[in-house]
Structure 1
Amino acid sequence: MKINWFKYSAPMNFYPLAGKLIPIFWIAAILFITLGLYWGFFKTADVLSDQKQYYRIIYVHVASAWMAMWLYAVMVAWAMIGLVFNTRLSFMMASATAITGTVMTVIALATGAIWGKTSWGTWWDWDPKLTSFLILLFVYIGYIALQSAIDDVRRSDKASALLALVGLALVPIIYYAVNCPDPNECASLHQESSLERVESNILIAMFVTTFGFWMYSFATILMRVRIIILERERKTSWVSKLKEFNG
């Protein structure tokens, strides 16, 4: 049976589909996050026997940092689709993604600060790695604020989409700062990216937790986009019928 996926570009058709997908993503998120953290906390004890226990915060810190950058790219992709094809749902998805991306960025910064205080004796250091990530948070917040500041939905969508496109330059900058080949060029308290040197047991826990964060992001984005759809489509007949059906 051939499925016409283009029909789901309409908010009216996407709304019920999102409702069906949300429980699936929530179950997957809980399962993989629990499994990843359990593996990291209890199955890497021998591997980390020579490390301080605060090292285990990497399972949350790295996963949230990866998701913060990935979600920004996703947000920009939806914004670009909206600008090119003028599709309402694309802008809605970008708006919903911005909230979850902001949450992931805050988690990454907070866990990094805790790690920094315990490991380096300071909550913060103004180096390229940390500063670029802080700027990413400001761009996320600026995107959300710009949407709220403009009453006309169409104008706010396009203005915030342009801001997101400008901020896209931050993603490769952050990646380069973390993976800088010359330590003297990107001097920092933050250690270099070293996945190739990480023990496989730790990598398993890290990737499983990251996949759980990925599923969590899908679940929360779909939940938020359903709310946005109802807000923007509240004057349509199908939303009125939905309200009547739900009492």
Structure 2
Amino acid sequence: MAWQWFHRLGSPRWFYQKTGAWLPWLAFASAVLLTVGSIWGLGFAPQDAKQGNSYRIIFVHVPAAFLALAGYYLMAISGAIGLVWKMKLAFAVMRAAAPIGAVLTFIALFTGAVWGKPTWGAYWVWDARITSMLILLFLYIGVMALSQAVSREQVADRACALLALVGTVNIPIIYKSVDWWFTLHQPATLRLTEASSIDPSMFYPLLTVIIGFYCMYAWTLLMHTRTLLLRREIRTKWAQQELTEGK
């Protein structure tokens, strides 16, 4: 049963037809959660005792940074699945995740710079966390550039998958950089294995925004993957039928 489900999941046609029903729900959930979380965090959460209102940038910075890291793992795992099982869908997910991850990484770097000016007195410092995040942005861009530079689609897929897998070395460096080196960047506020150091009045709106970002990421990834699948399968009967019915 599990293998049959896995085989179906690898079918571009099955994936395209099944995920269509998910999109409205993901869009609705992301819109509600992001609206509620943003109003809650930006308008009603108390000021920070040390940073004042400048800390409110975390309601954009933290979710973007979380998803930039998680999205890279998703991209690399999809590439690995494509390499091992030769799944077209996995390669499509890998390619779809690259530009989304690049945008999220840029948002994390930009909002970090906005927060850094009043906190550190500078928009940019060559801090270990910031520098490793910049490398992450270059890795995302590298996968995107490589996918366009190689004309043969199958060769490009394999090359992008290998680059994505090599780049996973950078993810634990990003996460542990504040522990391994003396950096200006503060330690992680949210931890899976320890109690959160953030006050509940700030934590709950932040958690709401994070969940909203994940829903928005899933919606965007599905939309982009579905578009790529139609482009790749344009010669098949099912893709032409979907395009005809969509007009």
Is the pair's TM-score, using the shorter chain for normalization, greater than 0.5?
yes
| Corresponding position: 1:36 with 2:31 | no
Match of 2:193 in 1: none
Q: Map Cα deviations across residues 51-77 of structure 1 (whole Å, 9 max, x no partner).
A: 421110111101110110011111111
| Corresponding position: 1:191 with 2:186 | yes
Letter in 1 for 2:38: L
Relative to 1, partners in 2 of residues 1:51 and 1:123: Cα closer, same or farther, differing over 3 Å?
A: closer
CA distance in 1, matches of 2:91, 2:116: 37
Q: Map Cα deviations across residues 122-171 of structure 1 (whole Å, 9 max, x no partner).
A: 11000111000000000000011101111111110000000000000011
CA distance in 1, matches of 2:73, 2:79: 10
CA distance in 2, matches of 1:32, 1:235: 39
Match of 1:10 in 2: 11
Identity, % of aligned pairs? 38
Match of 1:21 in 2: 22
Q: Which runs of 5+ in 1 are unaligned?
A: none
Q: Map Cα deviations across residues 82-111 of structure 1 (whole Å, 9 max, x no partner).
A: 111111001001111112111110110010
Comparing 192-201 and 100-109, the one that deviates more: 192-201
TM-superposed deviation, 1:22: 1.3
CA distance in 2, matches of 1:59, 1:243: 39
Partner SS state of residue 66, structure 2:
helix
Comparing 142-151 and 27-36, the one that deviates more: 27-36
After superposition, the CA RMSD in angstroms is 1.7
Letter in 2 for 1:28: A
Partner SS state of residue 197, structure 1:
coil
Over 4 Å off, 4+ runs: none
| Corresponding position: 1:131 with 2:126 | no
CA distance in 2, matches of 1:49, 1:168: 37
Q: Map Cα deviations across residues 178-215 of structure 1 (whole Å, 9 max, x no partner).
A: 3x0xxxx6222222224432112211111111111000
Partner SS state of residue 22, structure 1:
helix
TM-superposed deviation, 1:50: 5.6
Letter in 2 for 1:40: G
Contact kept, 8 Å, 2:51 with 2:119, in 1: the verdict is no
TM-superposed deviation, 1:49: 5.9
TM-superposed deviation, 1:19: 1.7
Letter in 2 for 1:25: L
Match of 1:108 in 2: 108
Match of 2:95 in 1: 95
Match of 2:246 in 1: 246
Report the count of equivalent residues: 239
Contact kept, 8 Å, 2:61 with 2:111, in 1: the verdict is yes
CA distance in 1, matches of 2:23, 2:200: 32
Contact kept, 8 Å, 1:18 with 1:223, in 2: the verdict is no
TM-superposed deviation, 1:16: 1.9
Contact kept, 8 Å, 1:98 with 1:140, in 2: the verdict is yes
Q: Give the TM-score, by structure 1 length.
A: 0.91
Q: Give the TM-score, by structure 2 length.
A: 0.91
Partner SS state of residue 89, structure 1:
helix
Relative to 1, partners in 2 of residues 1:152 and 1:217: Cα closer, same or farther, differing over 3 Å?
A: same
